[in-house]
């Protein structure tokens, strides 16, 4: 992820977005430990959680 985040910074992006799913037990804790914050948790079929990290 560090390489992707560095690339995004160098390309002028100020944040990076991803989504994961609540049924993936390690997903949210892993991404939070990498500095990502939850922006939206959907109650859809896939239990989608949207996350973002500021790159500034």
Q: Model confidence over 2-49: pLDDT tens digits?
A: 999 999 999 999 999 999 999 999 999 999 999 999 999 988 998 999
Cβ 34 vs Cβ 1: under 8 Å: yes
> HSE-up of 22 (CA within 13 Å, CB side)?
11
d(CA 53, CA 10): 15
Geometric angle at alpha carbon 13, from 12 and 15, rounded to 5°: 155
Looking at residue 56, what is its pLDDT?
84
Q: Residue 55 carries which DSSP code?
A: -
């Amino acid at each position: 992820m560090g390489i992707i985040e560095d690339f995004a910074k160098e390309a002028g992006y100020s944040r990076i977005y991803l989504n994961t799913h609540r049924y993936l037990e390690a997903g949210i804790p892993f991404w939070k430990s990498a500095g990502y914050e939850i922006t939206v948790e959907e109650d859809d079929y896939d239990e989608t959680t949207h996350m973002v990290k500021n790159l500034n």
